[in-house]
Structure 1
Amino acid sequence: MAFPPLSPLSPLLIVQVGTPPDVIRHPFGDLPDWYCRALKRSRDSVTVVRVFEGEALPPPDASRVAIITGSWSMVTDLHPWSEATAQWIRDAMEVQMPLFGVCYGHQLMAHALGGRVDYHALGREVGCRTIRLLPDAGNDALLEGWPSTFPAHLTHEQSIIELPPGARVLAYSDHDEHQIVRYGPNAVSTQFHPEFTPEISAACINRSVDALRGEGKDPEAMLRALEETHEATRLLRRFVDSFCYAPS
Structure 2
Amino acid sequence: MVNLIPKSPENELTNDQLLEETNRVLGKGNGKKQGKRFAVLLCADDSEYVKKKYGGYFGVFVRTLGEEGESWDVYRVAENEFPKEEELGMYDGFVITGSCSDAHSNDVWICKLVNLLRNLDSLKKKVLGICFGHQILGRALGGKIGRASSGWDIGLRTINLSSSSNKFISTLKIPSTLNIIECHQDEVLELPPKVEVIGRSNKTSVEMFRYGDHMMGIQGHPEYNTDILLHLIDRLLQKNFIVDAYANELRAKFMESRDPDKEAWRKLCVNFLKGRL
TM range (shorter): 0.7 to 0.9
Extract unaligned runs of 5+ from structure 1. Answer: 1-6, 244-248
**CA deviation after TM superposition for structure 1 residue 39, in Å:** 2.1
**Is the Cα contact below 8 Å between 1:142 and 1:239 reproduced in 2?**
no
Residue deviations 1:222-245 (CA, integer Å, cap 9, x gap) = 2321524221222222223326xx
SS at match of 2:156: strand
Relative to structure 1, the CA distance from residue 141 to residue 226 in structure 2 (aligned partners, 3 Å threshold; closer, same or farther) is closer
Q: Could you say which residue in structure 1 is the equivalent of 2:20?
A: none
Deviations 1:12-31 (A, max 9, x none): 11111112434544433311
Measured against aligned partners, the alpha-carbon deviations of 1:176-198 in whole angstroms (never above 9, x if no partner) come to 11111001211111001111112
Distance 1:205 1:119, change over 3 A: same
Question: Whose RCO is larger (CA < 8 A, sep 6+)?
Answer: 1
> Could you say what secondary structure the match of 2:264 adopts?
helix
Contact 1:65 1:97 in 2 (8 A): yes
SS across alignment from 1:61:
helix
Q: Alpha carbons of 1:63 and 1:84: their partners in 2 closer, same or farther (altered >3 Å)?
A: same
- Give the superposed CA RMSD: 2.7
Partner amino acid for 1:176?
T
Name the TM-score, length of structure 1 as normaliser: 0.85
Alignment coverage as a number of residue pairs? 237
Q: Deviations over 1:116-144 (max 9, x none)?
A: 00010000111111111112211225876
Q: Name the CA distance, whole Å, in 2 between partners of 1:212 and 1:183.
A: 39
Tell me the CA shift for residue 94 of structure 1: 0.7
**Does the residue aligned with 1:114 lie in a helix, a strand or coil?**
coil
Structure 1 runs of 4+ aligned residues shifted over 6 Å read: none
Provide the residue aligned with 1:220 in structure 2. 252
1:153 aligns with one of 157, 177, 181: 181
Q: Which has the larger radius of gyration?
A: 2
Q: What residue in structure 1 maps to residue 5 of structure 2?
A: none
Inter-CA distance 75–148: structure 2 relative to 1 (3 Å threshold): same
Aligned twin of 2:3: none
Match of 1:15 in 2: 41
In the superposition, the TM-score normalised over structure 2's length comes to 0.76
Pairing partner for 1:49 from 71, 75, 97: 75
**1:9 Cα deviation from its structure 2 partner:** 3.4
Ranges in structure 2 where 5+ consecutive residues have no aligned partner: 1-32
SS at 1:242's partner residue?
Answer: coil
The more displaced of 101-110 and 198-207 is: 198-207
Distance 1:227 1:10, change over 3 A: same
Confirm or deny that 1:82 pairs with 2:114: no
* Separation (CA, whole Å) in 1 of partners of 2:91 and 2:51: 31
Bigger Cα displacement from structure 2, 211-220 vs 161-170: 211-220
